[in-house]
C-alpha cells in the first residue's frame, strides 16, 4: 500500500446509507467522498483520483450503467455496484459494462469491508506480479508450463478448462459474467451459449474443489456469473 | 485415388430428394399391384394367395373388397380372412354396395385387400374412383394389395381400344400405378385363357357377352399380353435405374429434356395429351400441359370449353403439371411458358392443310418460327377438323336469341328501300347503292354479324327487285350489277365480322374490368374489416354479386385444426356439410362440386390459404355450376378466396398484436410498481442494517449490552428483508405470466449456490448432497430455482431440531428430473401435505417459528412455471420429504474434449 490512505467515492442518493458506508470505510482508514447523483459522481471521480467507486444503480438523475461506461472510458479503477436482489439483469448489465463486483442490499459492514479490501488489494497489486505461478488452497498453477497440481499431484485439464482457470486466476475477487467468460475462453461468436460455461465450470470444480457442491474457490453468483476466490 | 472426379460425386439435391422420398415412403403404406393382361388371368386368385401367406406370418390382413364372381376356387382362397362389411349407399331408390373406406380407416389393419383399382365408385361415395380411396388408405399408413388390368391404365387406354375396338371407361392414372411399391405380373398364355373361357371359368357379365366374346379373340389377347409384359418390363427397367441411382452406379445426370403439350380446342387434343404422357414416360421426364385461352377461344360454346378443361384434367391425371393461361397470342404465350419452365420440346397437334388457304401456316410451323431453338413434335389427331366452327344448331340458337335484332334489320333494310324510292328519279343508281351500304353498315354496327349478313342479302334483294332493270323482277339485265351485289355483300359481311369482333373484345374488356373492379372493391372493403364476421359478410356479398352463389365461411380454431360451424350471417349458405369441409381443410385441397372428392355435393369447399397457415374453408353453392368451371371464373374465385384468407389472417394478427400490447403494458406497469415498492421498502431496511452495523464501528466500542442490541436489530432487519423478498416474489409470481430466464445448466451448480446462501441457517444441521452422476442439463431459471432450494432448505432448518440431517437428492427418469429434499425431523402434520403449499398456510399454528407461510407457495409457483410438479409427503422412516420434478426436454450437445497433456506447450 502507498503511504497515503486510499480514496473511495460513494455515489448513492440515500444520505443515511452514505453515512453508514462512510463511517465503515473511515474506520478502515479510507478517505471517503460522497456524491448523490451521476453528475456529481462524475465530477468527484474526475477530481479526487479515487482508488475505488461504490455505485448505486438507481440514481435520481440517470442510469448507473451510463456512469460506468463514462468512467471506463478513461479509468480502470474498481467499481462495486450496490443493487437490490432480484435485479440480476441490472447486475449483469453493469458488470458487462465494466463494473467489477456488486453488493446486494441490505448489506452489512463486514461484507462491505471484505469486498472493498479485496478490490483495493487487487488494485495496488496490479502490475506487480510478473510471476506465472499461483497458489490457492491445495492447488498450484504454473501458467507458463500449463501445469496444475493438487498437493503435488498433477491434475489433467482439457484446453478449455485450462483457459477458463487461467482467466479466473487473472481476475480474482471480481464477478465475471457468463458473457465475459464465453468471450474470453470460447471467442466472441459464442456469447449466447451460456450452458458451455456452466458445464465446463462444473468439470473444473470437480477437478479443483474438495467438495464440488460446496465450492470454496469458484463461487456461483446465481443468474449473474462466477467469482474466483484464491 | 482419394478424390472422386466431379461426375462421380452424388448430387446433394438428388440425395436430399431421395432421403425425403424414403421418409415419406416410410410413413406411407405399401401398395402391391397384381397386374394382368385381361380378365380371367387369375389376379384376384394370386392376390388372395399372397394375402394368405401374410396371414400365416401373423399380419393383420383384412379383405376390403374382393370380387370372386362366384368362382369356387377363389372363394376358397378368401376363406378364413376377415372381411370388412360393405357400405350400403342408396342410389336412385336402390341400395348399392360399395367398399367402406371409413370402415377400413377405422379398422386400420396392417394390410387390406382392395380388388379392381380402376373401379368407379357409386355416386355419393367420398371419391369418384377407387384408386383415390386406396391413396387415402396408403396415406393412413395401411398396406394395400390391389389388382389392375392393362386396359385400365390411362395412358394405354387408347392403344387398347385401338386393338380391341372396345373403349374402357374405368381407368387408373399412370401415376397411381407407378407409385406402387411392387407390381406382380400375373401371366397366363392366351391358349390357356381361352381354354378357361371355354370351361366357363372366367366370369363374364351377361349383358355385354357378345362384345366380350369379341374381345377375347386370340389376336387381342396376344397383343394385350404383350402390352402388359412391356409395361411391366418398363417398370422393372425404372426400378433398375432407380437402384443404380441409389447405389450411385450412374450418377451422371443429363439436363432434363422436359415436354410441353399444347392443348387446343381441336378434336384430337385428347390424343395429344395421351401421346405426350407416353413420350414423357419413355423419356422419363416431367411434362407440362397448357391451354392458352385467347379472347377468340373465350367465345367457344361452353361444351367445347369443358372438353378442353377435361383434357387438361386428363393430363393432370397422367402426371402432367397443368396450367390454363390467358394471352392474346397462343403461340407467344406457349413459347414464353416453355422458356420460363425450361421445357425443350413442344408437342402440338398436326393441323390439316387447307387447299383453299395455301398461305396458311400450321400451328407447329408458327411455333417453330417463334422459337427456333425448341423442338416441336407434331402429333396426329384422331379425326380431322380443327379450329372453331359454326355449327348449324349454334346458328339456330343465336337466331332464336336475337330475333328482335333480325326484325330490326329487316325494318332498316325496308326503310332504306322506301327512302330510295323518291330518290330513284333524281339520283344515279350507283348513289342509291350507297344508301343500302349505309343501312348494312348501321345494322352491322348495331346488331353484329348475323344481322349484318341478313342485311347484306336483304339489301341486295330489295335493290335488285325495285331499282335494277328490269324492275320488280330478280332478273338482271346488265351484268355489271352483279359486281355491285358482290361488293354490297362483301362490305356487309366484312363489317359485320369486324364489328362482332370489336363488340366481343369490348365485352371481354368490360367483363375483365368488372372483375378487376370487384376485386379492388372487395380488397378495399376487406382492408377496413376488423372482425371475422365482417369479412364473412363482405365475402358473401361479393361472391354472390360476382359468381352468383351463396357462400359460408368456416374458420379454424386458434390452436387445433377443427373447423368451427359457419359464421352466422343472414344471406349466407344455410346447409354446410362439416365432414367435407373438414376434409378440405385437413388436406388443403378443394372438395365437393367439380373436384375429385365428393363431386356429388352441390357445394364447393375451398380451403382458405393464407401465408402462415390455413385459416378455414369457404363453402360456395353456385347457382350455375358449369359457369364456375370456366377458368376465368375459377381464377376469380381463387383470388377472392386468397384475399379473404389474407384478410382473416390480418384480423387474427391484429388481435394478437393488440393483446400483446395490452399484456406488455400491464407487465410494464406491474414491474415498475413492484420495482418502486421494492426500492421503497428495501432502502430503509438497508439503512437500518447499516446503522446497526455502524454501532460496532463507533469509538469507544459499544458495551456488551449495546452490542447485543445492535446485533438483534440487525438480525430483525434482515428477517424483515427476507419477508419483503418473499412477498415481492409472490406478487411477481402471482401477477400473470412469470417471465423465466431459462438456461440449460447442471443442477449441482444451483444446489451449490443455494447451500452457500443458506450456510448460516443450516449451521446446526448436517447436510448431505447426493446427485446422480449422469444427471442431464436442465433448462431452468437459476435465480428462481435457487429460491426453491433455499425455501425448502430453510423450511427443513426451521421445522427440524438442530443436529438433524437434511439430504438433497436428484435423479433422472424417462421424461423428468426428480429432486428430493428430505429431513429426519418430526415430519409434516398428517393430512396437511397439500395444504402447506397454499399461501399464508403454515404447518404449525403456533408462532414460535417465524415466517408467514409463503415459502412453499413460492416453491410451487416457481416449479409449476417451469412445467414441473411439487408435492410433500412423510417418509416411512420418519421426517418430511419434498419432491419436485422438472421436465427433461432436449439438452443441447456439448462436445467432448481431449485432455491437455501435462506440460504441453500450445502455440
Mean pLDDT is lowest, of B44-48, B403-407, B740-744, B836-840, for: B836-840
Is the CB of residue A110 less than 8 Å from the CB of residue A130? no
Identify from A14, A203, A220 which residue to disrupt to test chain B contact, counting B C-beta atoms within 10 A and taking the largest count.
A220
Mean pLDDT within B638-655: 90
What residues contact residue B312 under an 8 Å CB cut-off, 6+ apart?
Answer: B263, B289, B291, B322, B324
The cell for B303 is: 361444351
* Residue B783, helix vs strand vs coil: helix
Residues of A in contact with B898 (CB under 8 A): 158-159
Residues of B in contact with A222 (CB under 8 A): 750, 753, 782-783, 786
CA–CA distance, B346 with B453 (Å, rounded to integer): 40
CA–CA distance, B789 with B758 (Å, rounded to integer): 9
pLDDT at B210: 61
Identify from A86, A104, A217 which residue to disrupt to test chain B contact, counting B C-beta atoms within 10 A and taking the largest count.
A86
By CA distance, what is B725's nearest residue in A? A85
Q: Can you give chain A as a three-state secondary structure string?
A: CCCCCCEEEEECCCHHHHHHHHHHHHHCCCEEEEECCHHHHHHHHHHHCCCEEEEECEECCEEHHHHHHHHHCCCCCCEEEEEECCCHHHHHHHHHHCCCEEEEECCCHHHHHHHHHHHHHHHHHCCCCCCCEEEECCEEEECCCCEEEECCEECCCCHHHHHHHHHHHHCCCCEEEHHHHHHHHCCHHHCCCHHHHHHHHHHHHHHHCCCCCCCCCEEEECCCEEEECC
pLDDT at B894 over 80: no
- Mark yes or no for CB contact A147/B696 under 8 Å: no
pLDDT at A229 over 90: no
CA distance A42 to chain B (A): 23
Give tens-digit pLDDT for A192-224: 778 888 889 988 998 888 888 888 899 998 888
In chain A, how long is the greatest CA-to-CA distance?
A: 56
Higher pLDDT, B880 or B491: B880
Q: How confident is the model at residue A176 (pLDDT cuts 50, 70, 90)?
A: very high
pLDDT at A3: 53
pLDDT at B393: 56
Average pLDDT, chain A: 86
CA–CA distance, B328 with B292 (Å, rounded to integer): 9
Mean pLDDT is lowest, of B38-52, B115-129, B192-206, for: B192-206
Give tens-digit pLDDT for B102-125: 888 888 888 999 988 888 888 777
Q: How many CB atoms lie within 10 A of CB B308?
A: 20
Q: Can you give B555-613 as a three-state secondary structure string?
A: EECCCCCCECCCCCCCCCCCCCCHHHHHHHHHHCCCEECCCCECCCCCCEEEEEECCCC
- Give the CA-trace dihedral at B464, B470, B474, B477, to 10 degrees: -90
CA–CA distance, B139 with B26 (Å, rounded to integer): 11
ipTM of this predicted complex? Answer: 0.89
Taking CB atoms within 8 Å and a gap of at least 24, the contacts of B69-78 are: B69/B203, B70/B203, B71/B201, B71/B203, B73/B45, B74/B44, B74/B45, B74/B48, B77/B45, B77/B48, B77/B49, B77/B52, B78/B48
Mean pLDDT within B823-852: 71
Give tens-digit pLDDT for A17-46: 898 899 889 888 889 999 998 889 989 988
CA–CA distance, A166 with A228 (Å, rounded to integer): 11
What are the strands, taking DSSP E only, across B343-407?
A: 343-349, 375-379
Radius of gyration of chain A (CA): 18
Q: Using CB atoms within 10 A of its CB, is residue A127 exposed (0-12), middle (13-18) or buried (19+)?
A: exposed
DSSP state of B463: I
- Mark yes or no for CB contact B686/A107 under 8 Å: yes
C-alpha pair distances (Å), B501 with each of A107, B299, B387, B449: 95, 10, 17, 9
Residues of B in contact with A212 (CB under 8 A): 748, 752
pLDDT at B436: 85
Mean pLDDT within B145-151: 88
Average pLDDT, chain B: 80
pLDDT at B820: 93
By CA distance, what is B897's nearest residue in A? A158
Kindly state the percentage of chain B with pLDDT values over 70. Answer: 86
Mean pLDDT within A145-171: 89
CA–CA distance, A190 with A192 (Å, rounded to integer): 6
CA distance A226 to chain B (A): 10
In 3D space, the residue among B463, B368, B365, B366 whose CA is nearest the CA of residue B413 turns out to be B463
pLDDT at B203 over 80: no
Model-level pTM? 0.50
Residues of B in contact with A109 (CB under 8 A): 690, 693-694, 696-697
pLDDT at B4 over 50: no
CA B77 and chain centroid, separation: 41
- Mark yes or no for CB contact B900/A162 under 8 Å: yes
By CA distance, what is A16's nearest residue in B? B687
CA–CA distance, B70 with B217 (Å, rounded to integer): 24
Mean pLDDT is lowest, of B253-262, B711-720, B820-829, for: B253-262
* Residue B689, helix vs strand vs coil: helix
**Partner residue opposite B689 with nearest CB, options A89, A106, A219:** A106
What residues contact residue B762 under an 8 Å CB cut-off, 6+ apart?
Answer: B755, B793, B797, B806
Is the CB of residue B272 less than 8 Å from the CB of residue B379? yes
Higher pLDDT, A35 or B738: A35
**Partner residue opposite B748 with nearest CB, options A159, A202, A221:** A202
Is the CB of residue B550 less than 8 Å from the CB of residue B604? no
In 3D space, the residue among B818, B819, B830 whose CA is nearest the CA of residue B878 turns out to be B830
CA–CA distance, B870 with B354 (Å, rounded to integer): 91
CA–CA distance, B591 with B593 (Å, rounded to integer): 7
C-alpha pair distances (Å), A219 with each of B305, B308, B588, B756, B783: 82, 80, 57, 9, 14
CA–CA distance, B418 with B462 (Å, rounded to integer): 10
Kindly state the percentage of chain B with pLDDT values over 90. Answer: 5
Residues of A in contact with B781 (CB under 8 A): 223
Identify from B679, B693, B726 which residue to disrupt to test chain A contact, counting A C-beta atoms within 10 A and taking the largest count.
B693
Mean pLDDT within B265-280: 83
Alpha helices in B698-767 (DSSP H): 704-734, 747-757
Is the CB of residue B753 less than 8 Å from the CB of residue A220? yes
- Mark yes or no for CB contact A221/B753 under 8 Å: yes
Mean pLDDT within B630-659: 86
Is the CB of residue A181 less than 8 Å from the CB of residue A226? yes
CA distance B686 to chain A (A): 4
Mean pLDDT within B600-611: 85
pLDDT at B553 over 90: no
DSSP state of B835: G
Partners of residue B346 on adjacent β-strands: B260, B376
Is the CB of residue B288 less than 8 Å from the CB of residue B321? yes
Is the CB of residue B505 less than 8 Å from the CB of residue B298? no
By CA distance, what is B753's nearest residue in A? A220
Identify from B695, B740, B744, B752 which residue to disrupt to test chain A contact, counting A C-beta atoms within 10 A and taking the largest count.
B752
Residues of B in contact with A201 (CB under 8 A): 749
Partners of residue B553 on adjacent β-strands: B618
The cell for A122 is: 487487487
pLDDT at B841: 65
In 3D space, the residue among B546, B544, B540, B550 whose CA is nearest the CA of residue B512 turns out to be B546
Mean pLDDT within A112-138: 80
The cell for B125 is: 361415395
Residues of B in contact with A57 (CB under 8 A): none
Q: How confident is the model at residue B715 (pLDDT cuts 50, 70, 90)?
A: confident
CA distance A125 to chain B (A): 27
Mean pLDDT within B789-811: 89
What residues contact residue B687 under an 8 Å CB cut-off, 6+ apart?
Answer: A14, A16, A17, A20
Number of A/B CB contacts below 8 angstroms equals 147
pLDDT at B471: 77
Q: How confident is the model at residue B145 (pLDDT cuts 50, 70, 90)?
A: very high
Q: How many CB atoms lie within 10 A of CB B356?
A: 5
pLDDT at B10 over 60: no
- Mark yes or no for CB contact B725/A145 under 8 Å: no
pLDDT at B905 over 50: no
Is the CB of residue B478 less than 8 Å from the CB of residue B433? no
pLDDT at B883: 93
C-alpha pair distances (Å), B123 with each of B594, B599, B664, B884: 13, 8, 56, 60
Q: Using CB atoms within 10 A of its CB, is residue A56 exposed (0-12), middle (13-18) or buried (19+)?
A: buried
Length in residues, chain A: 230
Q: Which residue has the cell 376377415?
A: B82
**Partner residue opposite B899 with nearest CB, options A17, A158, A214:** A158
Give tens-digit pLDDT for B430-481: 788 888 888 888 887 788 777 888 888 888 888 888 887 777 777 777 777 7
CA distance A135 to chain B (A): 17
The cell for B519 is: 376485386
pLDDT at B166 over 90: no
C-alpha pair distances (Å), B896 with each of A159, A222, B771, B899: 11, 26, 22, 10
CA–CA distance, B421 with B467 (Å, rounded to integer): 8
Angle, helices B392-401 vs B449-462, to 10°: value is 80
Length in residues, chain B: 907
Amino acid at each position: 500500500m502507498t503511504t497515503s490512505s486510499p480514496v473511495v467515492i460513494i455515489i448513492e442518493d440515500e444520505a443515511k446509507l452514505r453515512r453508514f458506508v462512510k463511517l465503515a470505510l473511515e474506520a478502515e482508514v479510507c478517505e471517503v467522498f460522497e456524491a448523490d447523483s451521476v453528475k456529481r459522481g462524475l465530477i468527484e471521480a474526475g477530481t479526487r483520483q479515487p482508488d475505488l467507486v461504490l455505485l448505486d444503480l438507481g440514481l435520481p438523475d440517470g442510469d448507473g450503467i451510463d456512469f460506468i461506461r463514462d468512467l471506463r472510458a478513461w479509468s480502470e479503477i474498481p467499481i462495486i455496484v450496490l443493487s437490490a436482489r432480484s435485479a440480476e439483469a441490472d447486475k449483469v448489465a453493469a458488470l458487462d459494462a465494466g463494473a467489477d463486483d456488486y453488493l446486494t442490499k441490505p448489506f452489512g459492514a463486514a461484507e462491505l469491508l471484505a469486498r472493498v479490501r479485496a478490490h483495493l488489494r487487487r488494485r495496488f497489486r496490479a502490475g506487480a506480479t510478473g510471476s506465472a505461478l499461483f497458489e490457492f488452497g491445495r492447488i498450484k498453477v504454473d501458467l507458463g508450463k500449463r501445469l496444475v497440481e493438487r498437493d503435488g499431484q498433477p491434475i489433467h485439464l482439457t484446453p478449455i478448462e485450462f483457459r477458463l482457470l487461467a482467466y479466473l486466476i487473472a481476475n480474482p475477487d471480481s464477478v465475471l459474467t457468463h458473457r465475459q467468460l464465453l468471450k474470453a475462453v470460447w471467442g466472441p461468436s459464442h456469447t449466447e451459449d451460456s450452458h458451455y460455461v456452466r458445464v465446463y465450470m462444473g468439470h473444473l470444480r470437480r477437478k479443483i474443489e474438495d467438495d464440488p457442491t460446496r465450492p470454496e474457490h469458484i463461487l456461483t453468483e446465481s443468474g449473474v456469473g462466477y467469482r474466483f476466490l484464491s | 485415388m482419394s478424390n472422386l472426379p466431379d461426375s462421380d460425386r452424388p448430387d446433394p439435391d438428388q440425395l436430399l430428394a431421395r432421403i425425403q422420398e424414403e421418409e415419406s415412403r416410410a410413413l406411407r403404406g405399401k401398395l402391391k399391384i397384381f397386374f394382368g393382361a385381361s380378365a380371367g388371368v387369375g389376379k384376384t386368385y394370386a392376390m388372395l394367395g399372397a394375402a394368405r401367406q401374410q396371414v400365416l406370418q401373423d399380419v393383420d390382413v383384412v379383405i376390403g373388397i374382393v370380387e370372386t364372381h362366384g368362382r369356387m376356387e377363389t372363394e376358397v382362397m378368401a376363406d378364413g380372412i376377415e372381411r370388412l362389411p360393405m357400405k350400403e349407399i342408396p342410389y336412385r331408390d336402390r341400395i348399392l354396395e360399395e367398399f367402406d373406406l371409413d370402415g377400413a380407416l377405422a379398422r386400420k389393419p396392417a394390410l387390406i385387400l382392395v380388388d379392381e383399382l380402376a373401379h368407379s365408385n357409386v355416386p355419393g361415395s367420398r371419391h369418384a374412383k377407387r384408386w383415390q380411396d386406396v391413396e387415402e388408405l396408403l396415406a393412413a399408413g395401411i398396406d394395400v394389395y390391389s389388382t389392375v388390368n392393362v386396359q385400365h391404365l390411362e395412358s394405354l387406354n387408347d392403344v387398347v381400344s385401338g386393338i380391341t375396338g372396345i373403349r374402357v371407361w374405368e381407368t387408373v392414372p399412370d401415376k397411381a400405378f407407378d407409385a406402387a411399391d411392387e407390381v406382380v405380373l400375373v401371366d397366363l398364355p392366351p391358349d390357356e385363357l381361352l381354354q378357361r373361357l371355354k370351361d366357363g371359368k372366367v366370369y363374364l357379365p351377361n349383358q355385354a357377352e357378345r362384345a366380350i366374346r369379341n374381345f377375347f379373340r386370340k389376336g387381342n389377347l396376344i397383343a394385350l399380353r404383350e402390352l402388359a409384359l412391356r409395361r411391366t418390363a418398363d417398370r422393372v427397367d425404372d426400378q433398375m435405374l432407380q437402384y443404380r441411382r441409389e447405389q450411385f452406379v450412374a450418377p451422371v445426370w443429363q439436363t432434363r429434356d422436359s415436354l410441353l403439350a399444347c392443348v387446343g380446342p381441336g378434336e384430337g387434343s385428347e390424343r395429344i395429351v395421351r401421346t405426350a404422357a407416353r413420350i414423357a414416360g419413355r423419356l422419363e421426364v416431367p411434362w407440362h400441359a397448357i391451354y392458352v385461352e385467347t379472347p377468340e377461344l373465350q367465345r367457344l360454346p361452353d361444351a367445347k370449353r369443358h372438353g378442353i378443361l377435361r383434357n387438361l384434367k386428363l393430363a393432370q391425371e397422367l402426371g402432367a403439371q397443368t396450367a390454363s393461361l390467358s394471352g392474346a397470342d397462343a403461340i407467344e404465350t406457349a413459347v414464353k411458358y416453355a422458356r420460363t419452365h425450361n421445357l425443350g420440346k413442344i408437342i402440338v397437334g398436326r393441323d390439316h392443310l387447307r387447299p383453299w388457304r395455301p398461305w396458311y401456316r400450321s400451328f407447329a410451323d408458327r411455333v417453330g418460327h417463334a422459337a427456333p431453338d425448341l423442338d416441336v413434335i407434331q402429333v396426329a389427331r384422331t379425326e380431322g377438323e380443327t379450329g372453331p366452327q359454326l355449327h348449324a344448331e349454334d346458328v339456330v340458337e343465336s337466331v332464336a336469341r336475337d330475333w328482335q335484332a333480325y326484325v330490326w334489320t329487316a325494318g332498316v333494310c325496308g326503310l332504306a328501300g322506301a327512302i330510295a324510292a323518291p330518290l330513284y328519279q333524281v339520283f344515279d343508281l350507283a348513289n342509291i347503292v350507297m344508301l343500302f351500304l349505309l343501312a348494312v353498315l348501321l345494322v352491322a354496327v348495331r346488331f353484329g354479324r348475323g344481322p349484318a349478313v341478313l342485311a347484306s342479302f336483304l339489301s341486295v334483294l330489295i335493290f335488285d327487285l325495285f331499282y335494277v332493270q328490269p324492275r320488280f323482277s330478280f332478273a338482271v339485265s346488265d351484268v355489271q350489277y352483279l359486281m355491285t351485289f358482290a361488293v354490297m355483300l362483301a362490305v356487309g359481311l366484312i363489317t359485320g365480322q369486324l364489328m362482332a369482333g370489336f363488340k366481343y373484345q369490348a365485352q371481354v374488356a368490360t367483363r375483365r374490368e368488372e372483375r378487376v373492379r370487384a376485386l379492388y372493391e372487395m380488397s378495399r372493403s376487406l382492408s377496413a374489416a376488423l372482425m371475422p364476421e365482417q369479412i364473412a359478410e363482405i365475402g358473401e356479398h361479393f361472391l354472390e354479386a360476382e359468381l352468383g352463389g351463396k357462400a359460408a365461411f368456416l374458420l379454424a380454431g386458434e390452436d387445433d385444426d377443427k373447423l368451427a360451424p359457419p359464421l352466422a350471417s343472414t344471406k349466407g349458405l344455410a346447409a354446410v356439410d362439416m365432414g367435407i369441409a373438414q376434409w378440405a381443410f385437413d388436406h388443403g385441397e378443394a372438395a365437393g362440386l367439380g373436384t375429385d372428392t365428393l363431386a356429388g355435393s352441390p357445394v364447393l369447399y375451398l380451403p382458405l390459404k393464407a401465408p402462415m397457415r390455413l385459416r378455414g374453408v369457404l363453402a360456395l353453392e353456385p347457382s350455375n355450376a358449369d359457369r364456375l368451371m370456366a377458368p376465368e371464373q375459377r381464377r376469380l374465385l381463387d383470388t377472392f378466396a386468397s384475399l379473404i384468407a389474407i384478410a382473416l389472417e390480418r384480423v387474427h394478427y391484429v388481435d394478437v398484436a393488440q393483446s400483446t400490447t395490452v399484456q406488455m403494458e400491464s407487465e410494464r406497469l406491474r414491474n415498475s410498481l413492484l420495482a418502486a415498492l421494492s426500492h421503497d421498502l428495501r432502502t430503509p431496511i438497508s439503512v437500518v442494517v447499516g446503522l446497526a452495523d455502524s454501532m460496532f464501528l463507533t469509538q469507544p466500542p459499544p458495551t456488551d449490552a449495546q452490542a447485543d442490541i445492535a446485533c438483534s436489530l440487525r438480525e430483525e432487519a434482515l428477517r424483515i428483508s427476507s419477508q419483503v423478498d418473499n412477498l415481492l416474489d409472490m406478487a411477481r409470481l402471482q401477477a400473470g405470466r412469470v417471465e423465466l430466464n431459462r438456461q440449460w445448466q447442471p443442477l449441482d451448480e444451483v444446489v451449490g449456490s443455494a447451500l452457500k446462501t443458506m450456510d448460516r441457517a443450516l449451521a446446526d444441521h448436517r447436510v448431505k448432497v447426493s446427485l446422480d452422476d449422469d444427471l442431464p442439463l436442465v433448462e431452468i431459471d437459476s435465480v428462481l430455482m435457487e429460491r426453491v432450494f433455499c425455501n425448502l432448505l430453510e423450511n427443513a432448518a426451521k421445522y427440524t431440531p438442530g443436529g438433524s440431517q437434511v439430504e438433497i437428492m436428484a435423479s433422472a427418469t424417462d421424461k423428468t428430473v426428480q429432486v428430493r429434499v428430505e429431513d429426519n425431523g418430526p415430519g409434516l402434520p398428517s393430512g396437511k401435505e397439500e395444504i402447506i403449499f397454499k399461501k399464508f398456510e403454515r404447518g404449525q399454528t403456533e408462532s414460535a417459528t417465524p415466517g408467514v407461510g409463503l415459502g412453499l407457495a413460492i416453491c410451487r409457483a416457481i416449479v409449476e412455471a417451469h412445467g414441473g410438479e411439487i408435492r410433500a409427503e412423510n417418509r416411512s422412516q420418519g421426517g418430511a420429504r419434498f419432491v419436485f420434478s422438472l421436465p427433461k426436454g432436449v439438452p443441447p450437445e456439448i462436445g467432448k474434449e481431449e485432455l491437455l497433456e501435462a506440460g504441453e506447450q500450445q502455440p
